[in-house]
Amino acid sequence: MNRQTDLLTVSNLSIGFQLEKEKFLAVEDVSFSIKKGESLGIVGESGCGKSVTAMSIIRLLPIPPAYLSGVITFDGTDILKADIEALHKIRGKEIGVVFQEPSTSLNPTKTIGDQISEVFTTHNPELSKEIIKNKAVELLSKVGIPNAQERFGSYPHEFSGGMKQRVSIAIAIALNPKLLIADEPTTALDVTIQAQILDLIKKIQNERKSSVLIITHNMGIVADFCDRIVVMYAGRIVESAKTKDLFSSTSHPYTIGLLNSIPSATSDKKKLYSITGSVPHPKEYRKGCRFFDRCEKRITECESDVPPPLFKVGEGHKAACWLYENTAE
């Protein structure tokens, strides 16, 4: 791991929740990094711990009931030890977030213009109202909102789902953050709009040389968008690799299942493949391999209570599967 070029480093992150008398870990011993200008995708089914991992990076999880351990370093700052004042300077300015559902992340009682302007008034209070409005209108135009000057005074309910997400992106990139976190940014959008939103995020990344962390369950999205991919299952990382390597030499049975589940126009299969079973609740996690009950390739070693480590299966390619215990490089 090259610390000199890593913008974000997450080391041995575990996230738990205390709910009344119950206590459980939702994410366990997760480590990854993002270099400057790089795009990293975290994929997996709903309930695998992707979003809580992303939200921990800017400490948006309420404590309690959440509790965290490990180290999160962003551009030299220890996030988990930073005080509230330091976090306020990072949130929105250094790290921007595009949430998965713009209908709930945007305030229905405030105009679009006011919500974009709030970013500037919070971090650049010395700017005049006129300058802030001009910047907000410019951002609306940049993210593809037609008639930006007129739409500045519109409310969220007057925008379509795709336009709301564009506004969310405008808010997230307002101060040219070093890292953009996109948490399921295309959820509930039709395929055409999904492509437009992803193209917009990629364009912004290329223009501003920012890093991007994209959270999704869609393998097709990360295939075209990301430099590297981390696959999570039941709160743990089960595979990580450069995008081209993950698709060309998929290793973990869970990742193989995800790829086989993608519909294909050229496939001669009459029935769409699906992974049997479902992601367990954190209270039901096995001590060993958590994919055991759903795996079609399990072997005797998989019955162990010891979780499989991330074995090296290629250059920069790791998989947490006992199949590779004796073949790992």
Are 97 and 108 in contact by the 8 Å Cβ rule? The answer is no
CA gap 241, 313 in Å, rounded = 10
CA gap 212, 203 in Å, rounded = 12
Q: Other C-beta atoms within 10 Å of 131: how many?
A: 12
Rounded (10°) CA dihedral 201, 203, 206, 210: -20
- In this prediction, residue 221 carries a pLDDT of 84
Cβ within 8 Å of residue 7, ≥6 positions away: 34, 35, 36, 38, 74, 75, 178, 179, 211
Q: Which of 108, 193, 200, 119 is nearest to 158 (CA)?
A: 108
AA letter at 110: K
- State pLDDT tens for residues 52-82: 999 999 888 888 888 999 999 999 899 999 8
- In this prediction, residue 248 carries a pLDDT of 92
- In this prediction, residue 264 carries a pLDDT of 67
- Report, as ranges of residue numbers, the positions in the chain whose pLDDT lies below 50: 1-3
Distances (CA, A) of 310 to 17, 163, 257: 25, 41, 18
